[in-house]
Amino acid sequence: MASLAQNRTRTPAVTLRLAALAALALALLAILPAAFAANESYDIVMKNYSYTPDHMTWHVGDTVNLTLTNNSTDKTHEVMFGKGDLRYETDSFGAKHPHGWTTKLFDSPDQLHFMKGQKIEELMAAMPMITLQPKGGTMTFTFTVPDKKGTWSYACFEENGSHYADHNMKGTIDIVD
C-alpha cells in the first residue's frame, strides 16, 4: 500500500509541466475553432444583368475566398465594391455615366490577393474592379473582411453604367461582427 501512495505523489516539476500543458490545451481550444470558422468561400455568378447571390453577410476579420464567374452568353460584366454616392465618368461625348462609388470597401490593393482566373478583360486592383468576358470568364481572390461594418454594395457599371442604372445589376453585403 505504501508504494501505491508514493506513485500518486507528484514532484513540483511534474505538476508544473502538467499545468503548462493544460494551459496550452485551453489556449488551443480557444484559438482553433475561430481559425477554422474564419475561412468562408463564396461564388458570385454574373448572368444577364444579375448576380447570384445578390446578398451576402461577411464577418469582420474573416478570410474570404471569392470566385466570380461570368456565365452570360454575350455580355462582359464587372464587379466593383463600395457605398455612398456614385462616382461618375464622362464619355467622349460629354455624357456622365455612373462608374463605382465614392467610398471604396477596400482601402488598398494590398488587401486583395488574386489567385487565378481566365478570360479576364480588365483587372484594376486599386478600385478594385474586375471585368470578365462572357462564357466563362472567372477570377478567384482572397481577402480579410475589413472592419467596416454596415451595408455595402457590389455592381456592374459596363456599357457606360447601363448595367447598373438601367438593368439594376447590383448586390449587397452586410458586414457584421
**Is residue 159 over pLDDT 70?**
yes
Question: Of 147, 155, 159, 149, nearest to 128 (Cα)?
Answer: 155
Q: Which residues contact 71 (CB under 8 A, 6 or more apart)?
A: 45, 46, 47, 135, 136
**What pTM did the predictor assign?**
0.77
Average pLDDT, the chain: 88
Write out the H or E segment, with its range, that includes residue 56.
strand 55-59
Q: Tens digit of pLDDT for each residue in 130-145? A: 999 999 999 999 999 9
Q: Tens digit of pLDDT for each residue in 90-135? A: 999 999 999 999 999 999 999 999 998 999 999 998 889 999 999 9
CA 102 – CA 13 distance, rounded (Å):
62
